[in-house]
Structure 1
């Protein structure tokens, strides 16, 4: 089936995961621990963040989880605020994270739009973070649909938020490609009946993604060549 629309994950797909989120996590944990070394070590362990390497491990729930899920595992160590306030802090903090685009996004997205493709973003991050980051990159207007886990459509790996994109844009699932760096993205794509494109700008290896993807590419910049295959 022809691919008429692309629904992108955000972190690890549009933006390189490690380059964007490792430094954010280090700063976030430092702020929350309030100078308590035992507390920062416990929080880092809870989200599988290597304090010595200043980097997430590949099994971190932060890679594909929601702010609510991250807040839930950090809450026992952040006694100075309620869990709902902690979740809000994570969303607001993420919205201002320093961004590292996987490829120059404006040119890449304009190239797809010139081919007549419909574009969207579905992230398990908060909607406010997604909109803020796409605005700061100057590409928000390229997307016909932007949703987070809190936009009312559910979260990946469920198919519902992907199908919401199709309903909003009028493109059938079988003519849509889900593009992502994690199993959550690809499992959701399969459940929605979409083509699944894995990319290696997140934490997963080719061997992790390949069994669940129709194709695995080094990064989203290879999509035009894949379309011309």
Structure 2
């Protein structure tokens, strides 16, 4: 079936998750711990992050969760912490993370738009951070729709934010593809009645994602030929 719109997840999809967030998380954990090695280890445990290997564990809620989930995880290791204040602190810190694009984004997105596709981003990060990251990458204006978990549509795996994109763009959900690196993305896509594309630039494996995806690609760059073939 023809595709009229592509809705992308952000982290692990437009941007390589490991290359961006694994190193950032290690620095953030140590900063929150203030040099206390035991406290750093406690924060890492709550986040399901392996400090020795410098990587999130595959089951970490941080990978596909919201900024609130991250703040609550860190707060569990910091008795008396103000979760709301910590959430704002993490949002601002994350907005300045040096993201690594999965492919050169500007020409890639221009090519897709040139094919007549409407383009959107739906992330379980905040909309503030999403816009900051896309702006830093020089591509924020290339998207017709940008939403975070706090944009008023809900968070994945709910289909509601995905359907909001289809509604705003006046597209049939069946002719939209949700592109993501986690089961949250793909489950939401299926529930919205959309086609689902999995990419392997996150922390999940092909075996994890294939049961929920119509197709699995190594990275988003391979979607162009797939769309053309349709």
TM-score range, shorter chain: over 0.9
Instruction: Find the aligned partners of 2:171 and 2:8 in 1 and give their Cα distance.
Output: 15
Instruction: Find the aligned partners of 1:221 and 1:79 in 2 and give their Cα distance.
Output: 44
Q: Which runs of 5+ in 1 are unaligned?
A: none
Instruction: Find the aligned partners of 1:208 and 1:225 in 2 and give their Cα distance.
Output: 24
**Cα offset, 1:80, TM superposition:** 6.4
**1:72-98: CA deviations, max 9, x gaps?**
122122246411001111111110001
1:205 corresponds to: 205
Instruction: Find the aligned partners of 2:87 and 2:173 in 1 and give their Cα distance.
Output: 32
Instruction: Find the aligned partners of 1:71 and 1:30 in 2 and give their Cα distance.
Output: 15
Q: How does 1:31-180 map to 2 (within 5 A)?
A: 31-79=31-79, 81-180=81-180
Instruction: Find the aligned partners of 1:228 and 1:113 in 2 and give their Cα distance.
Output: 12
Q: Number of residue pairs matched?
A: 229
**1:127-183: CA deviations, max 9, x gaps?**
100000000000001100000000010000000000111111111101100000000
Q: Secondary structure at the match of 2:146?
A: strand
Q: How does 1:181-196 map to 2 (within 5 A)?
A: 181-196=181-196
Check conservation: 2:197, 2:215, Cα contact below 8 A.
Answer: yes
Q: Secondary structure at the match of 1:228?
A: helix
Q: Secondary structure at the match of 2:152?
A: coil
**Cα offset, 1:228, TM superposition:** 2.7
Please, what is the CA RMSD of the aligned residues? Answer: 0.9
Check conservation: 2:46, 2:76, Cα contact below 8 A.
Answer: no
**1:90-120: CA deviations, max 9, x gaps?**
1111100011000000010000001000000
TM-score, structure 1 normalization: 0.98
**1:19-62: CA deviations, max 9, x gaps?**
01011101110111112111110110111111111111111111
Q: How does 1:22-37 map to 2 (within 5 A)?
A: 22-37=22-37
Instruction: Find the aligned partners of 1:209 and 1:144 in 2 and give their Cα distance.
Output: 27
Instruction: Find the aligned partners of 2:153 and 2:76 in 1 and give their Cα distance.
Output: 28
TM-score, structure 2 normalization: 0.97
Q: Secondary structure at the match of 2:167?
A: helix
